[in-house]
Amino acid sequence: MRKDFQQADFESLVPQQSFDRRAFLVSAAASGIALAAQPVAAQTMIVTPMDGLQGGDTEIQSFDRKIPAYVALPAAAGRYPVVLVCQEIFGVHEHIKDICRRLAKAGYFAIAPELYVRQGDPRKYADIGALLKEVVAKVPDEQVMKDFDACVAYAQAQTRANAGELAITGFCWGGRIVWLYCAHSKQVKAGVAWYGRLVGESTALTPRYPIDIAARLNCPVLGLYGGADQGISQDSVERMRAALKAAGKNSQIHVYDGAPHAFNADYRPSYRKEAAEDGWRRMLAWFGKNL
C-alpha cells in the first residue's frame, strides 16, 4: 500500500522536539552509545534542531521483515532528492540521526536504516570488541544491499521523495558499504564514502571490498579519508585510486593530512572541525553535481 509522508504521520511516530547536548549525553550513557573505546566529546557535540523539518523513527518493509529507520526531510512542500545514510559500527544513534537532519536542512530526504536489527542491538554493548565480534561480524553484505534496496522502494512510494535523484553516504563501517552499494545498484547516482575500509580479507559474509569492485561502480563516488587513519593505510588509499583510474571511473578520493579515522564524528575526540566541515561541503557539492 502506498504510504505518503504527512506532518501527522511524523507526529504519530515520535514527538517533534529539538535535541540538546545534555539530553543526548544522558541518552547516550543510558543506551551504550558512549562506548569505553570511543568516549563522547561533550564540547564538540553538534545538534541540529527539527525547526523547519519533518522526521522521526519509522519502519521499512525489507525482504524478510520490517526494519527500523530514521527519516528527515524539509517541512516545506516539495519533492526532495533522496540520500541513503549508512551508519557507523555503533548503529543509528543520535549522531547518525543528526546527519539525517543536517541533510534535510540542505534540502534532502534522508533515510538511515538500522542494519544490525537481525543480529543485535549495538546500544547494549559497552565493549567495542564484543560489539564487533557478536554483532558487526555477523552482518552479511547481501543483507545490507537488500535493506538499502528496500529503502529505495520505500522512498519511491513517498510523494515527498524524488527517488529518481538518489545518493548514498556512510561513515566508517558504512563508508565501505557506500562503495559496495554503488556497484550493486543501478539507481544510485552519487556516493560519498567517509573513511570506509578499502581492502580486507574475503569471507562468506563479506566477500568483496571496494578495491574488488572499483571497475563495477555504477556512479561517481567521492572518498573522504584521513591521512593519519591508523586503521586505513595510505597504501590502500593509493591502491584504490589506481584501481579507479585503471577502470576509467569518474570517482575521486580526497585525503585530509593529519586527520584521524572518524574525523567527522563530532561526538568523539577524533573529531576534526576543519576537515569535517570541508568534507561536508565537498559532499554537498558532489551531490549537487551528480544528482
**Using an 8 Å Cβ cutoff, are 63 and 17 in contact?**
no
Task: Supply the pLDDT for residue 201.
Answer: 94
Q: How crowded is residue 237: how many other Cβ atoms within 10 Å of its Cβ? A: 21
Q: What is the pLDDT along the chain (291 residues), one digit of tens a residue?
A: 233 333 333 332 333 333 344 443 433 333 333 333 343 443 448 999 999 999 999 999 999 999 999 999 999 999 999 999 999 999 999 999 999 999 999 999 999 999 999 999 998 998 999 999 999 999 999 999 999 999 999 999 999 999 999 999 999 999 999 999 999 999 999 999 999 999 999 999 999 999 999 999 999 999 999 999 999 999 999 999 999 999 999 999 999 999 999 999 999 999 999 999 999 999 999 999 999
Of 172, 182, 184, 266, catalytic: 172
Three-state SS sequence of 16-53: CCCCCHHHHHHHHHHHCCCCCCCCCCHHHCCCCCCCCE
Using left for φ > 0, alpha for ψ between -120 and 50, and beta otherwise, residue 78 falls in: left
Q: Active-site residue 100, yes or no?
A: no
Outline where DSSP puts E strands in the chain: 53-61, 66-74, 80-86, 109-113, 161-171, 190-194, 221-226, 252-256
Spatial CA neighbour of 8 closest among 53, 54, 39, 47: 54
Of 98, 141, 147, 229, catalytic: 229
Whole-angstrom distance, CA of residue 177 vs CA of residue 51: 31
Say which amino acid occupies 46. I
Task: Supply the pLDDT for residue 99.
Answer: 97
Task: Supply the pLDDT for residue 2.
Answer: 31
What is the SS3 assignment for 106?
coil
**Strand pairing of 161-171 and 80-86?**
parallel
Q: Active-site residue 182, yes or no?
A: no
Of 86, 182, 261, 266, catalytic: 261
Q: What is the CATH number of domain 7-290?
A: 3.40.50.1820
Residue where the block lists cell 501527522: 8
